[in-house]
Each structure stands twice: as C-alpha cells, then as structure tokens.
Structure 1
Amino acid sequence: MDFRSELIPEAQYAELTGRNIRSVQRERARREGPAFIRIGRKVYYRKAAIEQWLLDQEQVQPRAAGGSR
C-alpha cells in the first residue's frame, strides 16, 4: 500500500478549499475540519478524510414557510 498517494500536504489542502494556510492552521487549532496526520513537523490530510468531512458539512435547505406546493 502506497499511503503517500493518499496524503495531501497542508498547503495543497488549503489551496483545494480556497483558503490560505494560516486559516487552515487556525481551523486545526480549534479542532475543526477534517482529521489530519502529523509526520514530524509536517501536516497531511487523507483524501478520504477530506471527502467525508465535506459530506458531513452538507446541509439540507429548508423550504420557505408559506411557499406554494
């Protein structure tokens, strides 16, 4: 198993989500966002963890009150 192909560096995760790296670091410090892996000083995210976290963020739009049927 080549686990390296499943890991995304912190900077790439920030780029994929359209945020800067400092925002991602703050998110991690607040224990928000997807699970991460720390190897030495470097932080990585698993692709599957990012996908699952994004799916968990999905919200159903409530219907407007009084709308026509």
Structure 2
Amino acid sequence: MTDQTATTPEVTPAGLLDDWMPRRELAGISGVSADTLKRWETPRIGPPCIRIGRKVLYRRSAVRAWLLEQESRETSGRGMAGK
C-alpha cells in the first residue's frame, strides 16, 4: 500500500481558486471591458482562460505572462517603424 498524500498536494477548498479571478475582476483591473475580454476568448487573442460551467476564470500568473508577451510584441516592432 502506497501513501498518496506524499505525492498529491493538499488544497483546501477555500484556497482552491486563490490564483484565479473572474472575468469581471480582470476587466476592472485591466481597464478592458468584460465584453472585450469575451470577444477575445474565441480567437484566443486575449489572456488564456478556463470555463467552469458559465463561469470564466483567468489565472493571475497566466495574465501576467500574457501581458509581458504583449509588451515584447509591441517593443519588437518599434525600431523598424521609422526606417
């Protein structure tokens, strides 16, 4: 018999979604409307998200990574604009 508690991390129900935020919260933080985030979901041009039933959640670390990616996209093309 093996001890599975050593290999499976314990997550309390209260802390299960600590790293996730609903669309409305991301909209408030980012200044982008919830409708815009919804439109970005299908073509996958916005931050990655998951669905739990009707609820859409964004992982905070994935949103940070997406923002950094957007920053590098914008700065990579700036040097060529004036040439």
CA RMSD of aligned residues (A): 1.6
Question: Match for 1:13: what amino acid?
Answer: L
User: Which structure is larger by alpha-carbon Rg, 1 or 2?
Assistant: 2
Equivalent in the alignment of 2:47 = 34
Same amino acid, percent of matched pairs: 34
Q: Distance in 2 between matches of 1:47 and 1:3?
A: 13
Q: How many residues align?
A: 65
1:62 is aligned to 2:75: no
> Displaced runs of 4+ in structure 1, greater than 2 A?
none
TM-score (norm 2): 0.68
Structure 2, gaps ≥5 residues long: 1-10
TM-score (norm 1): 0.80
Higher helix share: 2
Structure 1, gaps ≥5 residues long: none
